[in-house]
Structure 1
C-alpha cells in the first residue's frame, strides 16, 4: 500500500480495488508513468496520456491481449476476438459486427427493455427493498443481449453466471493465465442450431457474413471465430451494463440531492447516466503491449512492455474535469474515457447508454428514493471490471 514516500498500485489487490482513487490521484500527481516491479508493467493515469495512448494503436498495441495476465502468460489471442486485434484484422472483424448490430436494431430494443424493467421491478413495488443487482441489474442486460445474439432465455442465467465466475479473481494476485480461450465454448450448441434454423439475430448474421481477411482471401467466418465473437459480445454486454446499473443505484443513494433533482426533472436522466459512467467506470483498466519503445516523463518504456491504461483514473483527473471527485448529474461532459477512444472505441456504447437510461427512468418512476444496505453489498474483484455483485437497497 502507499506510504508517505512510496506509491504501490496493483490491479489484483482487493483492498486497493475497493477504493483505488487515492492511489490513482498520487500516481497522476507524483508518478504519471508508474512502474510495478512485482508484475513488470507500466501504467498511465492522466487523462491526456490515456487518451493519446488509446488513439495510437500503432505503438500501444492490443494484438497480444486485453488482460495483463494474457500478456504475461504469453496466451495466444483467440481468433475472432477483435478487441484484441489491431488494424487491418481489427477493422475487418469490426465491420462484420457493425453489420450485425446496427443502430436500427439497437433502437428497436427500447420497447423490449422497458417491458423487461417492468417485469423485474413491478414485483417490488410496495415492498421493503430488493437486491438491485441480483434481482434486476444482472437480469436486464442478460435478457437484452441474449435476444440480440439469439440465445434462448432458458440458457441465459447459466451463461451469465459462468461469465461472472470466469472473470472473478479467486485470490489477490495475478492468475497464471486468463480463461479467454474458452470464452466461446458455451455457445457451440446455439451456433449448431442456428445453422439449421436461421433467424434475425446476431448469430445468423455472423453465419452468413463474408469478408476479405488479412491474406486477401474472401471467406466466411470459421466456427471458432463466430463463437469468440459471440462470447465477447455476450460477456461485455452483460457485465459492464450490470455494473453501470449498480453504480447508478449506489451513487444516487449516496447523493440524495442529486437523485431528487433527477426525479424532479427526468430530462436529467441521460446526463446522470453519463456522469455515472465518468465517475465510476465499469471497466476502469485496459492493457496494451508496446509495439515500439516510447519516451515518457524522462523514462523509456521498452518495446514489448506491458502498459496499463487507467481509464478510471483518467476520468477523475482534475486536469481534464472541474471538481472531478464531485458527482454532479448536471455536469456537461465533453468526453470521457469510459468507452475508450480511437479504433477500439467500445462497440456497445450506444446499447449501454440506452439500457442505462431506460433502467434509471423505470427505477425512478417506481422508487423515487432508496438507501443501500452496505452490510450486504459485495464488490466483484476481477482484473478489468469493477462494480457490485450484490447491492441490497432499502425502500
Structure 2
C-alpha cells in the first residue's frame, strides 16, 4: 500500500453516498483488504472475485450472503442462495426452469402495461418520485403475479422488505426493525403458502410449481417460505434500486440519456452499463472454508470474505475506460448478477423490467431534472440505491 491506510466502513451512511472512490483506491492499493473493526476481508478486483465465485468449496455461502461476520443463516428460513451443493443444486434445479428467458418474456406485455399505468397519472403534473411512484411499485407488482401476492398486500410486503435491509448509520448486524420485518414477511408467506396449498397444480404458475415440489417431498414448507422471502426481497429491492440508479445516472450524464432517446433500441445496452457501473448489488458475503492465500494475504478458515462485485465490474484491468458511463458499451460480462453456480436466477426478469421501464419513461419524458435536495438513499452495505428520487419535467398533455 502507499500513503495512509484506507479506512473503509461499508456500514457508514457517508460511504453509501459515493463508495466508488474507496473502491478505486482499494483496487489500486489494497485489493485484498482486511477490515479490522468488523473482521472481514474484501476482494475488489475482477480476477479475485471471479475465482471466489467459482470456488464454492473454498468460499462457502452456507453462513449467509450478508457481509456481517458470524451470521447464522441457518437460524432463519432456508434460501438456496445460502446453500452449497448438494442442497443448492437440488433447490436451484427445481427453480431454474421457472425463470428461463422464454418464460420471463411472457411477462413483457404485463410489465409494459403496468409501467404505462404508473407513469400516466403524473405526466400532466410534470413531476413524480421515480422510486415511490414508479420503481418501488412495478417490480413488486410483477413478482406478485408469480407468487400470488394480492395488490392489497403489496405495500405491506414492500415495506417489510425495505425495513429488512435498512441499516442505521454504522449499524453492524441486525436490529429489532430488521428482525421484526423478517418475521412479518416470513409469517406472511407461511400463511400464503398454506392458503394456496389446496389448489390444483398449474405447470405455468411459479408458486404452484413450488407448492407441488413441497407435495412431492422435493422442498420443505420452510423452503417454500424462504423462496417467497427471497423473491420479495432480492427480486424486488435490487430491481427497484437499479431503476433509480439508472434514472440518476442518465440525469447525471444527459448526453448519454440523449443517446438512448435517439436510439431506444439500445436501451438494453444502457441497462447493462448501469448494472456494470452502478448496479444495485454492491457486494456479497462468503465464508472461507480453508486457509487460503490471495495476493500475499493469508485468509484463515472461518474468516468472512466480501466479494465487491460492483468494484470488480469497474476494474481497469478488465474494462477500458472503466470509470466512464457509456450506455452504448453494452458489455454483458459484468459481475452484477454474480457468476458460477450462484449466478442470479432472476437476471432475465430484472433486465426485462428495467429495459421496459426506460423504453416507456424516455418515450414520454425524454428530459427531466432531479431535485437531489429531496432525494434519499437506502442504507445497506450490500444494496445501493435510492428510497426517494423526485424528478421534474415539462408537463405532458
Query: What residue number does 2:324 align with?
Result: 326
Preserved contact between residue 214 and residue 224 of structure 2 (Cα < 8 Å): no
TM-score of the two chains, using structure 1 as the length reference: 0.93
SS in 1 for 2:4: coil
1: CA distance, partners of 2:249 / 2:195: 42
Cα distance, 1:383 vs structure 2: 3.0
Q: 1:366 is matched with which residue: 364, 367, 371?
A: 364
Q: Is the 8 A contact 1:62 1:288 kept in 2?
A: yes
- What is the CA-CA distance between 1:296 and the residue it aligns to? 1.2
Q: Report how far residue 104 of structure 1 moved.
A: 3.4
Secondary structure in 2 aligned to 1:171?
A: coil
User: Using the alignment, how far apart are the partners of 1:103 and 1:6 within structure 2?
Assistant: 45
Measured after TM superposition, the shift of residue 106 of structure 1 is 1.1
The offset of 1:317, in angstroms, is 1.1
SS in 1 for 2:197: helix
- CA shift at 1:222, angstroms? 2.0
Structure-2 separation of matches of 1:373 and 1:282: 21
Taking the aligned partners of 1:83 and 1:189, their CA distance within structure 2 comes to: 23
Show the counterpart of 2:191. Answer: 189
CA distance in 2 between counterparts of 1:303 and 1:81 reads 23
Structure 1 unaligned blocks of 5 or more: 212-217
Q: Is 2:279 the counterpart of 1:275?
A: no
- Alpha-carbon contact 1:293-1:302 (below 8 Å) kept: yes
The match for 2:220 among 222, 237, 243 is 222
Deviation at 1:185, TM superposition (A): 2.4
Partner Cα separation in structure 1 for residue 219 and residue 332 of structure 2 = 38
- Work out the CA distance in 2 between the residues paired with 1:104 and 1:80: 28
Give deviations 1:161-192, integer Å, cap 9, x for gaps.
11101110133220257649645322122112
Q: Deviations over 1:280-308 (max 9, x none)?
A: 01011100000111111212100110001
Residue in 1 that maps onto 2:60? 61
User: Cα distance 1:14–1:103, how it changes in 2: closer, same or farther (>3 A)?
Assistant: same
| Counterpart residue number, 1:150 | 148
| Contact 1:114-1:362 at 8 Å conserved across structures | yes
Distance (Å, rounded) in 1 between the aligned partners of 2:311 and 2:209: 37
Query: What CA distance in whole angstroms lies between the structure 2 residues aligned with 1:19 and 1:295?
Result: 30
- Aligned runs of 1:292-303 on 2, under 5 Å? 292-303=290-301
5+ residue gaps, structure 2:
none
Shift in Å at residue 73 of structure 1? 4.1
Q: Which residue of 1 aligns with 2:240?
A: 242
Alignment counterpart, residue 347 of structure 1, candidates 323, 345, 348: 345
- Deviation string for 1:20-77 (max 9, x for gaps)? 11111111111111001101111100111111111111111101111123x4244525
What secondary structure, in the 3-state scheme, does the structure 2 residue paired with 1:130 have? strand
Q: In the alignment, what sits opposite 1:208?
A: 212
Which residue of structure 1 lines up, in the alignment, with residue 252 of structure 2?
A: 254
Cα pair 1:145 1:234 within 8 Å, conserved: yes
RMSD: 1.9
One of 333, 342, 351 as aligned partner of 1:335: 333
1:88 and 2:86 aligned = yes
Matches within 5 A, 1:124-139: 124-139=122-137
CA shift at 1:103, angstroms? 3.2
- Residues 112 and 360, structure 2, Cα contact 8 Å, conserved in 1: yes
Where 1:196 maps in the other structure, the secondary structure is: coil
The answer to whether the Cα contact below 8 Å between 2:272 and 2:332 also exists between their aligned partners in 1 is: no
C-alpha distance in 2, partners of 1:241/1:30? 32
What is the SS of the residue equivalent to 2:34?
Answer: strand
Aligned-pair distance for 1:259?
0.9
Contact preservation (8 Å) 1:64, 1:77: no
| Partner Cα separation in structure 2 for residue 152 and residue 368 of structure 1 | 33
C-alpha contact 2:63 2:71 (8 A) present in aligned 1: no
